[in-house]
Amino acid sequence: MADHLSVHDPRGYPPKVTGKRLAPRPSALDGKLVYLVDCLFDNSAAFMEQLRQWFAAHLPAVQIQVITPRESWIDDADMRKKIAADGNAAILGVGL
Amino acid sequence: MTSLLEGDGVPSVAVHTNVFARVARSTARLRGIPTLRQAFVPQPVVGRTAAELRGYIEGSDQVSGRPFMQEVIDGLTRPLDDADLTGATFERTTPRLLPRDTEDNLRQLFLDNRWTDFLPIVLPTEERVAAMLEGTSQPPDKVVGRMRAGNFRETWEYTVEKVAVNAVMAGARPEYLSVILALAASNTTSRQGSTTSMTCLGVVNGPIRNEIGMNCGIGAMGPYSHANTTIGRAFSLLSQNGQGGSVPGETYMGALGNPLAYSLCFAENEERSPWQPLHVQKGFEPTDSTATVFNGLRYVQEGFGPRDTWEAKFRRCLAATAYLPPLIVLDPIVARLFQSRGITSKQDLIDWCAQNARLPARDYWDDQWMQTLVRPRAAAGVEPYASKLKAAPDAIVQMYEANDINVVVVGGETQGAFKIFGANYVTTVSVDAWR
């Protein structure tokens, strides 16, 4: 053991992770309002428009509304409040 | 944002491109919701036509292989199971000391865990770290700062001792520690996970430069100074380890990487500069010692002069620096030549650059960075971007505000050389506070 070294760990200290549950799911989307959240990445608006058109063609009973945060890379609390108040579900993209 | 909407009671699905699958899942786990519903289209979305994007939507999820829209609908409607209802609560620890082992095994451990930049390191033994801590009067357990690899990653914190550990690894000497601590106290990582391969640069001002033998002359940007090289490397190693990692595909997504990320720290040549030092511009006294952090460094232009056509050359360089504001680093010869041409201060040069860095609005906005990060602000009415967004495509718009442009004088006067980095000024931190 004489040739064994005692060495420091170079990593910082991580935060505690607290578990959170998913929101309750509806059994179906018919008659529900689904928000398409355009996260404002380059060309994500075009993607969301295609997604809106897909719902119109394939699931017309689902209400669709596109919404955008006030900026990219931020938590827009006002936008979330509106979605929670009016909407039944959300699809976010295209992020990361 | 998806996890926040779930917390608001809104069933949500996040759509990502497939190359981000690892980081998306890792981020969900670290937010306490490892079962966050996600769906994956092919990379890239940028530059794809409407028809191609429709093909993504009508195609397969790039991770599960199931139809993409089936994955989305299922994510919004599938009943919750136990894992969905509880999430994941956990605490991780990082020990102060690693299990004793041989030098060879420990070196391999550091490599395997990606705790290095893959250049040889000095193993941070207890004795070496204790010696390094002699370089500051601050207690080892004092929290220096916090970093995270990206906007949506968790924030880690680090102490004086952790900074000293990484300083030892970089080969730094105890007398450099106060500078490294000041850089660490900027709370700015030089290992940002951005796809744009951003990194940081440090500029040191004041008496500490000469006290520890920093180079502000020939070859100051490297690799020709023990102090410059190891201080910059210590900041880089601290960044990746202090924030809990910089792993490609998980916490680092830079498409090309950045050779400046190994080490980039130098001192301003205050003695040979005809102009006010950077730290005095930022509100410190000339006798204060400081470390200033810039981040970005995706674009670097360079040249010599100024000669008779310098204005045209600078306009080309500034336009090509798009779109982070210019950090102009120039040799004392260049500064003095500017003076002879009527640019008598850093502020004169900054003002000239602000007024002359211009592009047609069409070119200004046709950039992924601008579209993703700046255009939304412009659309929300934030000036000066809102006015530029309203400009006709052929109208000429100003690229930068004077307040965002910086000038540093460095170099050994063997040539009238300059570089222009695209780099945001972050902060200037007192080194004296960390002595």
Q: Does some domain include residue A51?
A: yes
Number of Cα atoms under 13 Å in the Cβ half of residue B253: 19
- Answer yes or no: are the C-beta atoms of B384 and B358 closer than 8 Å: no
Q: Does some domain include residue A73?
A: yes
pLDDT at B45: 93
Mean per-residue pLDDT, A18-24:
93
A and B: number of Cβ contacts within 8 A = 271
**Among A63-72, B330-339, B394-403, B423-432, where is mean pLDDT lowest?**
A63-72
pLDDT in tens, B282-328: 999 999 999 999 999 988 999 999 999 999 999 999 988 877 999 99
B363 CB contacts (<8 Å, ≥6 apart)?
none
pLDDT in tens, B191-210: 999 989 999 999 999 999 99
pLDDT at B239: 98
pLDDT at B323: 78
pTM for the complete prediction? 0.92
Q: Does some domain include residue A22?
A: no
pLDDT at B69: 97
Structure tokens at B28: 């969900």
Kindly state the percentage of chain B with pLDDT values over 90. 86
pLDDT band at A14 (very low <50, low <70, confident <90, very high): very high
Domain that holds residue A76: 33-93
pLDDT band at A95 (very low <50, low <70, confident <90, very high): low
Distance from A57 to chain B by nearest Cα, in Å? 12
pLDDT at B133: 98
Strand-pair partners of B419: B302, B329
pLDDT in tens, B117-129: 999 999 999 999 9
Q: Does some domain include residue A5?
A: no
Residue of chain A nearest B122, judged by CA positions: A7
Number of Cα atoms under 13 Å in the Cβ half of residue B431: 29
pLDDT at B89: 86
pLDDT in tens, B67-116: 999 999 999 999 999 998 888 888 888 999 999 999 999 999 999 999 99
Q: Does some domain include residue A17?
A: no
- Answer yes or no: are the C-beta atoms of B132 and B177 closer than 8 Å: yes
Cβ within 8 Å, pair B10-A16: no
Is the pLDDT confidence value at A96 over 60? no
Residue of chain B nearest A38, judged by CA positions: B15
Is the pLDDT confidence value at B155 over 90? yes
pLDDT at B396: 95
Distance from B309 to chain A by nearest Cα, in Å? 37
Neighbour-count burial of B420, counting CB atoms closer than 10 A to its CB (0-12 exposed, 13-18 middle, 19+ buried): buried
Distance of CA B192 to CAs B189, B258, B370, B385, Å?
6, 11, 19, 25
Q: Does some domain include residue A55?
A: yes
Kindly state the percentage of chain B with pLDDT values over 70. 100
Is the pLDDT confidence value at B275 over 70? yes
pLDDT at B151: 80
pLDDT at B121: 98
Structure tokens at B400: 């930068």
pLDDT band at B375 (very low <50, low <70, confident <90, very high): confident
pLDDT at B341: 96
pLDDT band at B36 (very low <50, low <70, confident <90, very high): very high
Cβ within 8 Å, pair A54-B124: no
Cβ within 8 Å, pair A68-B5: no
- B-chain CB neighbours of A70 within 8 Å are 376, 380
- Answer yes or no: are the C-beta atoms of B46 and B19 closer than 8 Å: no
Q: Does some domain include residue A3?
A: no
Q: Does some domain include residue A9?
A: no
Count: domains in chain A: 1
Q: Is the ipTM of this complex over 0.90?
A: yes
pLDDT band at B218 (very low <50, low <70, confident <90, very high): very high
Question: How is chain B split into domains, by residue range?
Answer: 2-86, 103-357+399-434
Q: Euclidean distance between the first and final Cα of chain B, in Å?
A: 41
Instruction: Report the C-alpha gap between B279 and B320 in whole angstroms.
Output: 27
Mean per-residue pLDDT, A54-78:
92
